[in-house]
Structure 1
Amino acid sequence: MTHRLIAFGLCWAALTAATASPLHAENLRETALVRAIKRANPAVVNIHTEKTAVDRDAIFSSGNAKPRKINGMGTGVIIDERGYIVTNYHVVAEVDLIRGTLHDGASLTARVVALDRQHDLAIIKVDASRPLQVMPAGTSSDLMLGEPVIAVGNAFGYEGTVTSGIISALARDVEVNETQSYKNLIQTDASINPGNSGGPLLNMNGEVVGINVAIRAGAQRIGFAIPIDDARQIIARLMSVEQLNQTYHGLVSKDVKKGEVRKLVVDTVQPESPAAKAGLQAGDVVVKIADRTVNDGADWELALLDRPVGETVPVVVQRGEKSETLSMALAPYLGGRSRMASEFVARANNDNSDAERFWRILGLKLAPLPPERTANVPSKYRGGLVVTDVRSDSPAATNGIKKDDILVGLRDWETLTFENVSWILNQSLPQGQNSVKFYVIRGRETLYGYIQLVNADAAAKPQ
């Protein structure tokens, strides 16, 4: 009897182990890497682009060159549920069509919101029918050599490709060519191939710690990424409500990071600004705007984006040991003229109106786009300004801008209002830029070229 009981017990234990082992094996399969990918994947966007090009050699040899379409690819990271996506500048610059494929397979047309060529970053937007999942943001301030990381992207057009590796080095400076260089990059041995550009470099928590850039052709196990802390500061500038909404808050802040903790600390408050009137003070830690948590300057700008002038929004701050809720209402942005420190800009702005300034510097007279002409503007642009006159001796005329063209962009920004154009000049002139790129709609075509700012300014001065 005893032997029988022992034998039965052994059989029962074997059966129990057999039925339990598949569950146990499944738990072993779902590693930290798998969980990180599951968490981040819904916020990764596969980007496909098209542009039209003409072979210059064919133009000179036959004089009858036909344009051809060039397809491009890249990756993006969703930073806001309204469809705002960060990617690389080189992925979406100077293309005719951008399409973003979401994690669920939906393919949507995207438009460029803002570009930063110097730092190789861009913001694009898709109009989805639902709120999109935002990529969890980590910090690059405490990355460690040897720390495991994951790259996700549209490698060679194979959407959703995942590779893994470690952080090989930090603070790398890389010069690609005479016009493009990078500072403070993360180096990894995770494979970052063409098409990965603009995608996330993840930590094992499934948080983005870098924006991938594919820049070393033929290199094996050497990839680079822009640290997310650097990228978020640029995103905050590109998504500034002053530029995108023509609204103004007057808060100057700094991002503070300690380990995994990120917070936005008020540095200064401009006098008589909405932030000053709300009672914000230097040293305050901004915790929330309405129901949105704020961890850095990008969160602050995104939380205020699309809010109209005069709308009161609650701002929760930590002041010492106390939490306070303040009320702030955005004001109209007046182009920043009273706040610009540059003497050159102050002198250039000493015109009676923006219109006179545009005529003097650009050689253009501009007017708001009439409703009946909005159909002429492709859907990837939000609008523009109509060219009503072109000064005959101006670089605008020399470079082919004509009366009745629709100006949709200058440099890396859209031109919906006079304030947009003035803001772009304010950014360009103090930097000593000799020219700015322009984009115009003529008939059904989008044309671009360059206006020589210095020459335009000199040509308009009395001799």
Structure 2
Amino acid sequence: MTVRKTGALRRNMGAALLAGTALLGGFVPAFAPQAFAAPSEVMEKGGVADLVERVSPAVVTITAAKNAPDRPVMRDMPPGFEEFLRRFGVPGLPDGQGGGNGGGGRAPQARALGSGFVFDASGYVATNRHVIADADEVTVTFQDGTERAAEIVGEDERTDLAVLKVKADKPLAALKFADSDKVRVGDVAIAVGNPFGLGGTVTAGIVSARSRAIGSGPYDDYLQLDASINRGNSGGPTFNMAGDIIGINTAIFSPNGGSVGIGFAIPSNMAKPVLETLKQNGKIDRGWLGVSLQPMTKELADSLGLPKPEGALIAGVEAKSPAEKGGLKAGDVVLSADGKPMKDTRDLARHVGMVNPGAKVDLSVWRDGKARDLKITVAQAPASPDQRIARGGAAKEEGTEVAGLKLSSLNDQWRERLQLDGDVNGVVVLDVPGDVEGLRAGDVIQSVNNTPVAKPADVSAQVSAAAKAGRKNALIQVRRGDASAFLTIPVKPV
């Protein structure tokens, strides 16, 4: 099964033209929208026709086109052959691609169809970035059939949102955002959009889950819906029963490309500030701390003395970064930011990303068994932060055994083999037992229980200390290439 964006401009020209052709063909049974048995609450109120009639004028179809490169110039053509090509097209190309019906003089276009909605009556339209990415021309079509050329005002790749602007001689029908934090699992959800290029289509269902992660990045926090969402629904709104937007439809989980009742929408509380900022500035300036984050586990929480596995674990701090200047250290666990609980790494990444560069963020961190407060001034996020983890390798050889691990002191020979700088200290892992997850030969243990180690005996002493303290696991900081992370190793009680 795969997670698919529900409307995208294809980079491959042939694939794009086939997709465009498919929009005009017959239905494929696997893609047919699923029937929905409306909840009893909706039936008792006589359906959602009044709501749909009210919101539909603000929901639009978006057509994004990318012009193909100019056709190669054919020189030394026989007399009259140029007129033949103009009238009948280039042999071997299908209609609409310069292959006949007078299409020889037209450059083919890659087209993507998606959805969107007016969120500002002066002509600002919201959609998904992947609907209009790399487009040369964007057209917005309203419910009454009116078409308007649209300007791309701004795009944000990280949240997959974009803002368009159309000229309006009078205020347009616009939609309001609901507070998605108040959305509950089981609430009715009404989706309106343009699946398969059919035009305005309404589907209904419920909110199936909140805070879903689908592997799209640090802003992974979707509402899951069972309303039928298909290709072309991307960028369209999902409403609550008051007619306010709770989410923007973005992706589907599907084994066959069609709806199986699992769709994902960007929550309105995430989308609204991004759209407003794009409208004003055309881009998003994100805050940056300069840390690498690691999810919390039960074993890590136990080794850190935390009562429950929540918070964002700081796996590494970049040199000269805002985090280092503000006193944040590897091994700290961020419990809250500006008074808001940080349940996991996504919470912290989203929160800091929405802080304006130059502003301060108040962090509550767990360090050495107690909470402490830090105030850090965030900086502008780099355009392409490097989050690669270099892989180290090591041959198995004799070493000191500690907690089932075979360890060796880090000497100049190991530094050369592992391509480490001279200022890197720690203990090299030579072999790892099967019950230790995440650790591998070639890793360098730099600290145990947040205490630096330089030889296997140091590791042994800290493991023994963790056992005497009644902990099931010892916390180790591991360096692998240029990256670091925290792992745990099991200890035996004393």
Q: Which has the higher contact order (CA 8 A, sep 6+)?
A: 2
| Greater strand share, structure number | 1
Larger Rg: 2
TM (norm. structure 1) is: 0.43
| Greater helix share, structure number | 1
TM (norm. structure 2) is: 0.41
